[in-house]
Structure 1
Amino acid sequence: MNVSIYLASSSPRRSELLNQIGVLFDRVKAAIEEKPETGESAQDYVLRLALQKAQAGFKNSDKERPVLGADTIIVIDQKILEKPRDKKHAREMLQLLSGRVHQVFTAVALVQGVYTKSTLVKTEVSFKKLSEQDISDYWRSGEPVGKAAGYAIQGIAGKFINNISGSYSGVVGLPLFETAELIREFMEEVNH
């Protein structure tokens, strides 16, 4: 994929995933407030955040290339699980995920001037039943800090996941197939 964009994200995982599909990029800052609006669905929320990140990034760019924004949220029982505030919060979220299936929504948006295009990917993830020891040991590893719902599928938490239906890379933070297609379609539209 011989294309060059801006990435409105400081996530090392998103950088690795873009590199994996051969997309050249430079980072651009995109600070936005991440807070659901009253009555906003999880899907609308994650799409709005991805778009706002791309738009904020475009404002901070040289406007020569499209800007990619992305956001990932984890939902169970219609509740969005944020990054853990502390050990107690991480424990509560991991207990909620234990032995159950949850949804991971990742939205990806591209913006260049008046052109915008976005996509939403839903993945279902099933956790094994976690013991208190599993949760304590996992917290001590340091991995849950700064991760939505307190886990990273690409890390130690991979051993807790007994089934996944959808995009593994979407759970990591950027669905590769859908992102590549989005970029291809966007470039075709902008260049015609």
Structure 2
Amino acid sequence: MSIILASASPRRKQLLEQVGCKFSVITSDVNEDNQLSMPPHQLAVYHARAKASAVAGLAGRNDVVIGADTIVVVDGQVFGKPNDDFTARQMLTKLAGRSHFVITGLAVVGNGRVWTDFARTEVTIQELTAAQIDRYIATGEPLDKAGAYAIQGLGALLVERIEGCYTNVVGLPLSNLARLLTKAGIELL
């Protein structure tokens, strides 16, 4: 039985490597539509399940596929990854000086079954000036991160505090994932 990560995210890959997980990567071409009308945690799980299921269709019968989707939610608005500096600036301006939620949906597909879960972490971003936001955007780091910041990178300088799972904010809540993999017959510890 082999594990496949259905994600191109280098952060998810690093987190799995950090806990000694042996896996391969097959990315899905699932389009993440953050405008779907459903509660944010269901949206993240929906995307994760779609990614894992798409890759499971390409994988071997005995493979176990991990799908994940991370979103940022503030005032009921879902932020995915910004695709340009303008959108990143809008997101960071809205997040500055307040709290928001990072939600990662998880799906594990294997043996003809699907297990899902999600993690939710509250993150507070410190007050930021327009110049600080512009300098952070100039680094390029915000462009492929949900909510336009990376807590594991320079974005850590923006974060005042978190309540909940740190690895969720990075993009893969490891304790939740370990529980799902156990259900699929794989023990990480």
TM score, norm. by length of structure 2: 0.93
Mapping for residues 34-113 of structure 1, pairs under 5 Å? 34-36=32-34, 38-113=36-111
Q: Which AA in structure 1 matches 2:159?
A: I
* Superimposed CA distance per residue, residues 50-95 of structure 1 (whole angstroms, 9 cap, x where no aligned partner): 0011100101112221111011000000000122232221111101
In structure 1, the gaps of 5 or more residues are none
Shift of 1:113: 4.3
Distance change (3 Å), C-alpha of 1:38 and 1:16:
closer
Distance change (3 Å), C-alpha of 1:175 and 1:34:
same
Structure 1 vs Structure 2 CA RMSD:
1.4
In the other structure, the counterpart of 2:135 is 137
In structure 2, the gaps of 5 or more residues are none
Q: Which AA in structure 2 matches 1:120?
A: F
In the other structure, the counterpart of 1:114 is 112
Distance change (3 Å), C-alpha of 1:145 and 1:184:
same
Shift of 1:173: 0.7
Secondary structure of 1:60's counterpart equals: coil
Distance change (3 Å), C-alpha of 1:85 and 1:30:
closer
Does the CA contact (< 8 Å) of 1:4 and 1:23 recur in 2?
no
CA distance in 2, matches of 1:64, 1:4: 7
Does the CA contact (< 8 Å) of 1:123 and 1:164 recur in 2?
yes
Where in structure 1 do 4 or more consecutive aligned residues deviate above 2 Å?
36-39
Deviates more, 1:139-148 or 1:31-40: 31-40
Does the CA contact (< 8 Å) of 1:93 and 1:149 recur in 2?
yes
* Among candidates 141, 144, 147, match of residue 145 of structure 2: 147
Deviates more, 1:146-155 or 1:30-39: 30-39
Distance change (3 Å), C-alpha of 1:38 and 1:67:
closer
Q: Which AA in structure 1 matches 2:9?
A: S
* Superimposed CA distance per residue, residues 92-132 of structure 1 (whole angstroms, 9 cap, x where no aligned partner): 11010000000000111111242110111000000100011
TM score, norm. by length of structure 1: 0.92
Q: Percent of pairs identical after alignment?
A: 37
CA distance in 2, matches of 1:30, 1:176: 21
Q: Which AA in structure 2 matches 1:117?
A: W
Deviates more, 1:139-148 or 1:82-91: 82-91
Shift of 1:38: 4.3
Secondary structure of 1:126's counterpart equals: strand
In the other structure, the counterpart of 2:162 is 164
Mapping for residues 10-29 of structure 1, pairs under 5 Å? 10-29=8-27
